[in-house]
């Protein structure tokens, strides 16, 4: 499976085309809208989220609630477009519009590098596309991937581990279902209620100071059989694909699996997962420090992947920059921005991880029909257990 996205942050709509989604998958508008709504929530977001009410329009590839095997086109409208129609449509020649030309690059954004790369003197041409508004349709694509995984008995859950240095310590959830249930009620999508309160205080403080804060999100996937992905070639390693997908999310700067960077500080005896066997379950690991991957393939243990989000770059407290036309230094002032988007980004992280895993499974277990993929994955599970 593969997908493309298109659209600008303040243009009329965002579009994604999903190619290679198997036929015979039950897919309703509600499945996608539910995920879009989850991405819009979260303490610390700015005024834009009060304007948008993201909703999908399924334009191709689905009939009577079933996928056809043909490309699926999904569209989400930008409600804010109506406020930006002139700015987006008219060339900045008239006096009023010249004022709206963006010549002041914001530190931490794609503005300056994008302008140099594509030769744009109006950096609106860069920021419109580099904006995380694009993650809306990535979440829509992820919702389709989650439908595939759900039919194969695979669950995905994401949550917030850390915001502004406040770390969740109570992670004693009994199941992914419980983790999901509790985090859905939390304004910061955090399982640890005490930490969640402190996270919200940290967001309030950052906002009062005109600053922004980042954090860490975690995605867990259960039910993937051993042997998905491959060790035979670098571009077939599934952990590498997931790592790329996480770092591709706007503002994500790092990724780790299982104990992650902690592995650098520990001896091998405290890093590797010992292998055990029982007649009932077949091969298992005593621990899951590897986070579900060895040799670019799944181990059959839960996949545990974390991503680091930097603080939002647009600050009410201005940062120094230089105008690209006048070369004068200036201190950026802004009209609106999120102060923390880590909770929303945890939903995006779920989506991109779900997409990579669903793609690997569809590629490996038969590509065209859900019923055949289901049969093949069941056979693989049985085979692995009896191995």
Ligand X SMILES: C=C(O[C@@H]1CC(C(=O)O)=C[C@@H](OP(=O)(O)O)[C@H]1O)C(=O)O
The contact set with ligand FMN (CB under 6 A) reads 46, 108-110, 130-132, 135, 249-251, 310, 312-314, 337-338, 341, 344-345, 348
Instruction: Confirm whether residue 79 is marked as ligand binding.
Output: no
Nearer to ligand FMN, 73 or 125 (CB): 125
Query: d(Cα 240, Cα 258) in Å, to the nearest integer?
Result: 14
Closest CA to 154 of 374, 313, 340: 374
Neighbours of 186 (CB within 10 A): 22
Interacting partner of 133 out of ligand X, ligand FMN, none (Cβ under 5 to 8 A depending on kind): ligand X
Query: d(Cα 35, Cα 350) in Å, to the nearest integer?
Result: 10
Residues 6+ apart with CB under 8 A from 89: none
Using alpha carbons only, give the angle 302, 16, 52 rounded to the nearest 5 degrees.
Answer: 90
Interacting partner of 9 out of ligand FMN, ligand X, none (Cβ under 5 to 8 A depending on kind): ligand X
Nearer to ligand X, 128 or 239 (CB): 128
Contact 54, 9 (CB under 8 A): no
Query: Is beta strand 72-77 parallel, antiparallel or unpaired with respect to 155-163?
Result: unpaired
The pattern of x and - marking residues 215 through 254 that bind ligand X according to CB under 6 A reads -----------------------------------x----
Among 16, 136, 288, 339, binds ligand X (CB under 6 A): 136
Of residues 325-384, those binding ligand X (CB under 6 A): 336-338
Instruction: Confirm whether residue 312 is marked as ligand binding.
Output: yes
User: Least CB distance from residue 344 to ligand FMN, whole Å?
Assistant: 4
In the block, residue with structure tokens 């980004």 = 345
Instruction: Confirm whether residue 100 is marked as ligand binding.
Output: no
Nearer to ligand X, 52 or 211 (CB): 52
Q: What is the DSSP letter of 204?
A: H
Instruction: Confirm whether residue 289 is marked as ligand binding.
Output: no
- What is the torsion angle, in degrees rounded to the nearest 10, for the CA atoms of residue 204, residue 208, residue 210 and residue 212? -10
Of residues 41-100, those binding ligand X (CB under 6 A): 46, 48, 52
Q: Which residues bind ligand X (CB under 6 A)?
A: 9, 46, 48, 52, 131-133, 136, 250, 336-338
């Amino acid at each position: 499976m593969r997908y493309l996205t298109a659209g600008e942050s303040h243009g009329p709509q965002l579009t994604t085309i999903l190619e290679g989604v198997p036929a015979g998958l039950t897919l309703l508008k509600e499945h996608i809208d539910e995920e879009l709504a989850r991405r819009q929530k979260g303490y610390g977001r700015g005024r834009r989220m009060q304007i948008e009410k993201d909703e999908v329009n399924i334009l191709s590839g689905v009939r009577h609630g079933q996928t056809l095997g043909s490309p699926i086109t999904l569209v989400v409208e930008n409600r804010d477009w109506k406020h930006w129609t002139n700015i987006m449509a008219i060339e900045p020649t008239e006096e009023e519009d010249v004022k709206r030309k963006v010549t002041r690059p914001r530190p931490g954004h794609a503005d300056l590098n994008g302008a140099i790369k594509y030769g744009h003197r109006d950096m609106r041409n860069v920021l419109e596309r580099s904006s995380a508004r694009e993650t809306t349709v990535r979440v829509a694509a992820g919702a389709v991937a989650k439908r595939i995984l759900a039919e194969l008995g695979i669950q995905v859950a994401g949550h917030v581990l850390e915001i502004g240095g406040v770390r969740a310590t109570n992670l004693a959830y009994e199941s992914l279902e419980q983790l999901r249930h509790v985090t859905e009620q939390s304004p910061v999508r955090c399982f640890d209620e005490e930490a969640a309160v402190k996270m919200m205080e940290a967001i309030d403080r950052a906002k009062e100071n005109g600053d922004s804060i980042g954090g860490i999100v975690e995605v867990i996937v259960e039910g993937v059989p051993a042997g998905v992905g491959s060790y035979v070639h670098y571009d077939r390693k599934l952990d590498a694909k997931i790592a790329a997908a996480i770092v591709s999310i706007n503002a994500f700067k790092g990724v780790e699996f299982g104990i992650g960077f902690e592995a650098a500080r520990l001896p091998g005896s405290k890093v590797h997962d010992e292998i055990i066997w029982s007649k009932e379950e077949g091969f298992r690991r005593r621990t899951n420090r590897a986070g579900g991957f060895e040799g670019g393939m799944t181990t059959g243990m839960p996949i545990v992947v974390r991503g680091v989000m930097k603080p939002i770059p647009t600050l009410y407290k201005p940062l120094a920059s230089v105008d690209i036309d006048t070369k004068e230094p200036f201190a950026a002032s802004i009209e609106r921005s999120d102060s923390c988007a880590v909770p929303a980004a945890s939903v995006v992280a779920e989506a991109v991880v779900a997409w990579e895993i669903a793609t690997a499974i569809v590629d490996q277990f038969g590509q065209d029909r859900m019923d055949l993929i289901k049969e093949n994955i069941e056979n693989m599970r049985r085979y692995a257990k009896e191995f």
